[in-house]
């Protein structure tokens, strides 16, 4: 179990829905990954991310999918790629990452409540 945080701390984390508009293999990454370009709507725009999701997803299958991501972390350099958001997922018993997404279509940029 992780350390408790306050509700105010939780509210500082800006988690938004976005739609993957482009995805490419990321062979330069140390661990197998996919480069993602995600549309978060007019307020946030398009952001990039690197995700270690190659066991359950192919770049082609990701196009058009909605995902949830933290959009207010500082950008992080991953090899030659600048990751601007943290795409959220959960791991199964074998360590494979499954992406978190809304059950129903929501506008790009919709904030998690």
Does residue 47 belong to any structural domain of this protein?
Answer: yes
Does residue 13 belong to any structural domain of this protein?
Answer: yes
- Provide the domain count of the chain: 1
Does residue 112 belong to any structural domain of this protein?
Answer: no
Question: How many Cβ atoms from other residues are within 10 Å of residue 4's Cβ?
Answer: 6
pTM recorded for the entire structure: 0.94
Does residue 34 belong to any structural domain of this protein?
Answer: yes
The one-digit pLDDT tens for each residue of the chain (113 residues) are 788 999 999 999 999 999 999 999 999 999 999 999 999 999 999 999 999 999 999 999 999 999 999 999 999 999 999 999 999 999 999 999 999 999 999 999 999 98
Tell me which H or E stretch contains 28. Answer: none
Which CATH number do you get for residue 81? Answer: 2.40.50.140
Does residue 113 belong to any structural domain of this protein?
Answer: no
Does residue 41 belong to any structural domain of this protein?
Answer: yes
Note down the domain range covering 67.
Answer: 7-97
Checking DSSP bridges between strand 15-25 and strand 76-78, what pairing results, if any? unpaired
């Amino acid at each position: 179990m992780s350390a408790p945080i306050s509700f105010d701390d939780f509210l500082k984390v800006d988690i938004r829905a976005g739609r993957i508009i482009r995805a490419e293999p990321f062979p330069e990454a140390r661990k197998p990954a996919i480069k993602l370009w995600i549309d978060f709507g007019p307020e946030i725009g398009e952001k990039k991310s690197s995700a270690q999701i190659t066991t359950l997803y192919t770049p082609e299958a990701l196009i058009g999918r909605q995902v949830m991501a933290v959009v207010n972390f500082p950008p992080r350099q991953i090899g030659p790629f600048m990751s601007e958001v943290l795409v959220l997922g959960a791991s199964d018993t074998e360590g494979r990452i499954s992406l978190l997404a809304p059950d129903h279509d929501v506008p790009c940029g919709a904030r998690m409540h």
